[in-house]
């Protein structure tokens, strides 16, 4: 991949922040968008804007075709066999809630067990807490090893014949850990349980194939994948979706309606009530085109190189703690760290003075923060447009912070 060429596609990377060229290292929160995505959205509004699935006029037909074409692209991108198994939602969070509300309420009974891991994002925790409480089921946790990997011994001891669902992240947004999804899928299936994969961090960065993973449900958000905010995906095995009741009721999701009852539309529209985010779905299609052209294997290879470089560079810092596995093959380009005696929020502010954007806080993983016995961490996260030179700038700025505020200042 020619990174300099790629960077020219992202207009925001030209921005100056506090007199410095922007160094954007907050990609796990949301990625930046290439011109092709921005243009696809504005072109749609300039030339095709209409509501979909309803009109018989040209604009509506064009908009419907453009919208439905993206469903085909998503299916190809994640290796799904059937386009009708791709449901558009607002984000990964809504997709998980859809499964918990629709599948969960019809399949989870008192005494059943739902298994997640100790590193899940709140989005893959709260919907299961609610479901377990409502259905008198039990929520159980796969623990982590000391270096932040999924503890497979813990998984084997926790997943059993009472388990109805295992819901697990493909990549941790705090530790960067990539989880062994095919192994977890086998374990879940041996016990008759289903597997939901939270691909919010994984799908944008790793080649993903739902069949090879053995997943039953996969969720992700487009805003972390070069696409716009407001578009997420739920993919599920079609036979599961067929059996699930609708999540939201309203226009587009019905077949026939009487005063007192209704029948519902076929897949995927049964789960897409109301006017969807048409323009942004079309923008999302453009994001897929961009990534498919580069090749996800190349994206992954670039991020392994950056992560390996960064892990080594971080170790030259005084009083640093890095969370998660220390080899770049086992993790994505997400590095959570802390510097002794400097609050993560202060670090975030100091780096911002040099134009460097990172995230600081609990990263929506409070139970994991409790396990790590920290209030929060600082987190740098990379994507395809980041460079080793930007990592050098980050490390230099952290060295400076250490000199001014850290433990080093008091030696």
- Which residues are tagged catalytic? 364
Distance CA 22, CA 351 (A): 11
- Does position 117 interact with ligand C6P (CB under 6 A)? The reply is no
Q: Do 256 and 231 meet the contact criterion of CB atoms below 8 Å apart? A: no
**Residue selected from 86, 92, 99, 267 as contacting ligand C6P according to rule CB under 6 A:** 92
The CA-atom distances, in angstroms, between 264 and each of 53, 125, 252, 256, 278 are 15, 30, 9, 7, 21
| For the chain, the helix, strand and coil percentages under 3-state DSSP, each to the nearest 5 | 45, 20, 35
Q: Which is nearer to ligand C6P, 41 or 52 (CB)?
A: 41
Q: Which is nearer to ligand C6P, 63 or 233 (CB)?
A: 233
Minimum separation from the CB atom of position 28 to ligand C6P (A):
5
Stretch that binds ligand C6P, among 66-74, 193-201, 207-215, 323-331 (CB under 6 A): 193-201
**Residue selected from 32, 101, 124, 179 as contacting ligand C6P according to rule CB under 6 A:** 124
Tokens encoding 271: 């789960």
Tokens encoding 65: 């075709």
Instruction: Report which of 392, 363, 387 is spatially closest to residue 175, judged by C-alpha positions.
Output: 363
DSSP letters for 221-254? EGGGTTS-TT-EEEEE-HHHHHHSPPSS-STTSE
Stretch that binds ligand C6P, among 90-98, 159-167, 238-246, 285-293 (CB under 6 A): 90-98
- Does position 363 interact with ligand C6P (CB under 6 A)? The reply is yes
- Does position 28 interact with ligand C6P (CB under 6 A)? The reply is yes
- Does position 201 interact with ligand C6P (CB under 6 A)? The reply is yes
**Residue selected from 118, 158, 175, 200 as contacting ligand C6P according to rule CB under 6 A:** 200
Tokens encoding 80: 């799904």
Minimum separation from the CB atom of position 123 to ligand C6P (A):
4
Count of positions on this chain that bind ligand C6P (CB under 6 A): 17
Minimum separation from the CB atom of position 55 to ligand C6P (A):
30
Distance CA 251, CA 70 (A): 21
- Does position 169 interact with ligand C6P (CB under 6 A)? The reply is yes
Please report, as ranges, the residues that interact with ligand C6P according to CB under 6 A: 28-29, 91-93, 121, 123-124, 169, 173, 198, 200-201, 221, 359, 363-364
């Amino acid at each position: 991949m020619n990174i300099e060429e790629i960077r020219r596609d992202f207009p925001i990377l030209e921005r100056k922040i506090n007199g410095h060229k922007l160094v954007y290292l907050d990609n796990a929160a949301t990625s930046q968008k290439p011109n092709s995505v921005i243009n696809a959205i504005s072109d749609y509004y300039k030339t095709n804007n209409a509501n979909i699935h309803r009109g018989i006029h040209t604009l509506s037909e064009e908009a419907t075709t453009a919208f439905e074409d993206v469903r085909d692209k998503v299916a190809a991108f994640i290796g799904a066999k059937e386009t009708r198994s791709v449901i558009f939602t607002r984000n990964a969070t809504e997709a998980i809630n859809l499964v918990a509300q629709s599948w969960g309420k019809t399949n989870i009974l008192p005494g059943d067990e739902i298994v997640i891991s100790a590193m899940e994002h709140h989005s893959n925790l709260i919907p299961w807490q609610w479901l377990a409480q409502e259905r008198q089921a039990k929520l159980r946790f796969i623990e982590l090893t000391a270096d932040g990997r999924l503890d497979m011994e813990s998984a084997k001891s926790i997943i059993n014949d009472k388990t109805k669902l295992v819901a697990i992240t493909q990549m941790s947004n705090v530790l960067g850990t990539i989880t062994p999804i095919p192994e977890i899928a086998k374990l879940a299936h041996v016990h008759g349980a289903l597997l939901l994969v939270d691909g919010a961090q994984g799908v944008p960065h790793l080649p993903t194939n739902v069949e090879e993973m053995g997943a039953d449900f996969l969720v992700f958000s487009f805003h972390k994948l070069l696409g716009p905010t407001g578009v997420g995906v739920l993919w599920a095995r079609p036979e599961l979706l067929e059996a699930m009741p609708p999540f939201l009721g309203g226009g587009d999701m019905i077949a026939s309606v009487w005063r007192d009852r209704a029948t519902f539309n076929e897949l995927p529209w049964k789960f897409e009530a109301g006017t969807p985010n048409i323009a942004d779905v079309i923008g999302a299609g453009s994001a897929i085109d961009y990534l498919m052209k580069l090749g996800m294997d190349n994206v992954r290879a670039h991020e392994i190189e950056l992560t390996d470089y960064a892990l080594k560079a971080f170790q030259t810092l005084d009083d640093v703690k890095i969370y998660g596995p220390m080899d770049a093959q086992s993790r994505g380009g997400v590095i959570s760290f802390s510097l002794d005696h400097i609050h993560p929020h202060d670090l975030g502010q100091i780096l911002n003075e040099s134009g460097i954007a990172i995230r600081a806080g609990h990263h929506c993983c409070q139970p994991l923060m409790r396990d790590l016995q920290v209030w929060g961490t600082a987190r740098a996260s990379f994507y395809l447009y980041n460079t080793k030179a930007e990592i050098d700038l980050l490390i230099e700025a952290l060295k400076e912070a250490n000199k001014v505020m850290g433990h080093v200042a008091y030696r």
